[in-house]
Amino acid sequence: MPKINRLLMTGAAGTIGQQIRAGLTDFAAHVRLSDIADIGVAKPPEEFVACDLTDPEAVRDMVRECDAILHFGGISTENRADLIHRVNIDGTYHLYEAARKEGARRILFASSNHVIGFHHRETRLTASSAIRPDSNYGVSKAYGEALARMYWDKYGIETLILRIGSCFPRPKDRRMMATWMSAADLLRLIGVMLECPRLGCPIVYGVSDNEECWWDNGETAYLGWKPQDSSAQFAHLFADDPAPDPNDPAVVYQGGGFARAGHYED
């Protein structure tokens, strides 16, 4: 695959960043890693730029000379609305503005299944399904999706909007048997996103080829991404769990515990 010159990944110290970091050097001559947290030693072709997403000037410096961006940085679970606003809403705005001003043309926006978390599990969703956020966090991701669409329509900046299910080394509970995405499938998708001649602004559900699945990526089949892993290899982890209560909102809704939780209190 032809390499791009400089690829930026925000959130490099996080769960996903740590899982995919080593694979990014296949895609770019220079890999710029960024976070507010420590990422360990960055060895060439890696370089590290510390950046708080809430600081617009620092974000612009971080984005300078980058051709493409993987935006994984931010608050990744439910939290206080004001914190979520500062980091996920304002921070994502700073990132898109920096991309516009500095000429970065292609972005992966790490959205989340919590944008559609209040859909019932027996509903099979597509990219065209209505958003039904299940949390302050899910609302912030819906904002990011809308922002990405506006930067595509108005400025031609392409974004792969990735509604990630559960990207961890292995599923942590029974629900994640349906929502799990392997790091290897994510890296394959990043390869597709960087390589395809015309990306546009598709919404893709970030999920492996699991036996139980609530999401249909048929509308973005033109991308040619086919997940190759499956959560089936982890079924034994939950074989002895008690049967789930079918009336538990965490079982009724796709967003699981996020949908069941009440208003976030400190």
Residues marked as catalytic: 137
* Shortest reach from residue 17's CB to ligand 15L, in Å: 12
- If one asks whether residue 73 binds ligand NAI (CB under 6 A), the answer comes out as yes
d(CA 204, CA 190): 12
- If one asks whether residue 115 binds ligand 15L (CB under 6 A), the answer comes out as no
- If one asks whether residue 113 binds ligand 15L (CB under 6 A), the answer comes out as yes
Residue 24 is given by DSSP the state G
Size of the chain in residues: 266
**Closer of 6 and 163 to ligand 15L (Cβ):** 163
d(CA 85, CA 90): 6
49 Cβ neighbours under 8 A, 6+ residues apart: 32, 33, 34, 61, 62
- If one asks whether residue 77 binds ligand 15L (CB under 6 A), the answer comes out as yes
- If one asks whether residue 92 binds ligand NAI (CB under 6 A), the answer comes out as no
- If one asks whether residue 166 binds ligand 15L (CB under 6 A), the answer comes out as yes
Question: Looking up tokens 């004001």, which residue turns up?
Answer: 82
Question: Looking up tokens 């995919």, which residue turns up?
Answer: 20
Question: Looking up tokens 């516009």, which residue turns up?
Answer: 100
- If one asks whether residue 144 binds ligand NAI (CB under 6 A), the answer comes out as no
- If one asks whether residue 135 binds ligand NAI (CB under 6 A), the answer comes out as no
Cα 95–100–103 angle (5° rounding)? 110
d(CA 83, CA 64): 26
- If one asks whether residue 112 binds ligand 15L (CB under 6 A), the answer comes out as yes
Select from 113, 110, 10, 132 the least CA-distant residue to 63: 10
Q: How many CA atoms lie within 13 A of 204 on its CB side?
A: 29
**Closer of 3 and 264 to ligand NAI (Cβ):** 264
CB under 6 A: which stretch of 1-9, 12-20, 149-157, 236-244 binds ligand NAI?
12-20
- Partner from ligand NAI, ligand 15L, none binding residue 176, C-beta < 5-8 Å depending on class: ligand 15L
Here the tokens at position 55 are 């600081």
- Partner from ligand NAI, ligand 15L, none binding residue 53, C-beta < 5-8 Å depending on class: ligand NAI
Residue 11 is given by DSSP the state S
Contact with ligand NAI (CB under 6 A): which of 4, 23, 25, 36? 36
* Shortest reach from residue 73's CB to ligand NAI, in Å: 4
- If one asks whether residue 114 binds ligand 15L (CB under 6 A), the answer comes out as yes
Chain residues that interact with ligand NAI, rule: CB under 6 A:
11, 13-17, 35-37, 52-54, 72-76, 87, 91, 110, 112, 164, 166-168
